[in-house]
């Protein structure tokens, strides 16, 4: 057993915080002092909590729309696929597990927060198919443009945000979206569950849709090479050689 610290656990924590503050933020070229016992300064710690990455941004939901549209069309074409049916059923169970009691307080209750947010989705009668559409659309976005995401954790947090936003309500008078704030552990928990249960299916959907996108469309008539482009150029001025060649062919 290690010797007990003279200041007790609290003294130890103070000492760790004090020691940490002499070090600089882990983000290259930041140079600011670290906060608390974390790896980052206040600014980068805040960004990591809001977005999933110290240099990450929260991506606008409208950017997901083109990916979601393609996934939705694909799922409609394959609605009898057993994986898609099971995926939608899983999403229905997920929403059903929500319950909107009193809004939980405190940072360490990810499961309670998640249940509350899912309860909002349940109250708004969100189509479970849309949960699968948004999840697969996030996989498609990453497949199509990996550099839109700082790293895997950033992508996971954006995935959770896009799905949780389904439970957002519109403000009556302005029509603006009223987006509740989701804490970092709630997003972690939801993303882990979505990726664990729907990941293998969504990767396949994303790749199938990508294949459709990459398939070259049939060129329009005016864009095709003109007919006869491949015909040999015989020399019509030199009649004797043409005759000779014909003769040779006959002999051969």
Which residues contact Zn ion by CB under 5 A?
25, 27, 30, 32, 41, 44
Q: How far is the CB of 152 from Zn ion (least distance, A)?
A: 21
- Ranked by CB distance to Zn ion, the top (closest) residue is 25
**Closest separation in Å from C-beta 81 to Zn ion:** 46
Nearer to Zn ion, 12 or 32 (CB): 32
What is the smallest separation between the CB atom of 156 and Zn ion, expressed in angstroms?
22
Render the chain in DSSP notation, one character per residue.
-PPPPTTHHHHHHHHHHHHHHTSBPSSTTT-PBP-TTSSS-HHHHHHHHHHSSTT--PPPGGGGHHHHHHHHHHHHHTTT-HHHHHHHHHHHHHHHT----SPP-SSS-HHHHHHHHHHHHHHTT--HHHHHHHHHHHHHHHHH-GGGSSSHHHHHHHHHHHHHGGG-EE-TTT--EEPPP--HHHHHHHHHHHHHHHHHHHHHHHHHHHHHHHSPPPPPGGGSPPTTTTS----TT-HHHHHHHHHHHHH-
Q: Shortest approach of Zn ion to residue 50 CB, angstroms? A: 14
Q: How far is the CB of 209 from Zn ion (least distance, A)?
A: 38
Q: Which is nearer to Zn ion, 54 or 87 (CB)?
A: 54
Of 34 and 70, the one with the shorter C-beta distance to Zn ion is 34
Question: With respect to Zn ion, which residue has the nearer C-beta, 44 or 70?
Answer: 44
User: Is 37 or 213 the residue whose CB approaches Zn ion more closely?
Assistant: 37
């Amino acid at each position: 057993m290690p010797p007990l610290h003279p200041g007790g656990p609290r003294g130890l924590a103070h000492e760790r915080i004090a020691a940490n503050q002499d070090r600089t933020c882990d983000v290259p070229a930041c140079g600011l002092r670290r906060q608390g016992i974390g790896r980052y300064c206040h600014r980068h710690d805040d960004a990591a909590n809001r977005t999933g990455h110290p240099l990450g941004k929260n991506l606008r939901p409208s950017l997901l729309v083109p990916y979601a549209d393609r996934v939705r069309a694909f799922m409609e074409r394959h609605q009898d696929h057993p994986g898609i049916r099971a995926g939608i059923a899983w999403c229905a169970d997920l929403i059903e597990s929500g319950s909107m009691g009193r809004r939980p307080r405190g940072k360490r209750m990810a499961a309670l927060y998640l249940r509350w947010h899912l309860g909002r989705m349940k109250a708004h009668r969100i189509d479970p198919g849309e949960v699968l559409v948004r999840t697969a659309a996030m996989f498609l976005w990453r497949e199509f443009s990996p550099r839109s995401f700082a790293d895997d954790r950033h992508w996971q947090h954006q995935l959770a945000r896009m799905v949780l936003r389904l439970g957002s309500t519109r403000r009556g008078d302005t029509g603006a979206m009223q987006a509740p704030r989701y804490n970092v552990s709630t997003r972690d928990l939801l993303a882990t569950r979505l990726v664990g249960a729907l990941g293998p299916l969504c990767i396949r959907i994303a790749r199938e849709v990508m294949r459709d996108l990459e398939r070259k469309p049939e060129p329009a008539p005016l864009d095709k090479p003109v007919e006869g482009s491949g015909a040999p150029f015989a020399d019509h001025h030199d009649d004797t050689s043409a005759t000779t060649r014909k003769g040779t062919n006959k002999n051969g």
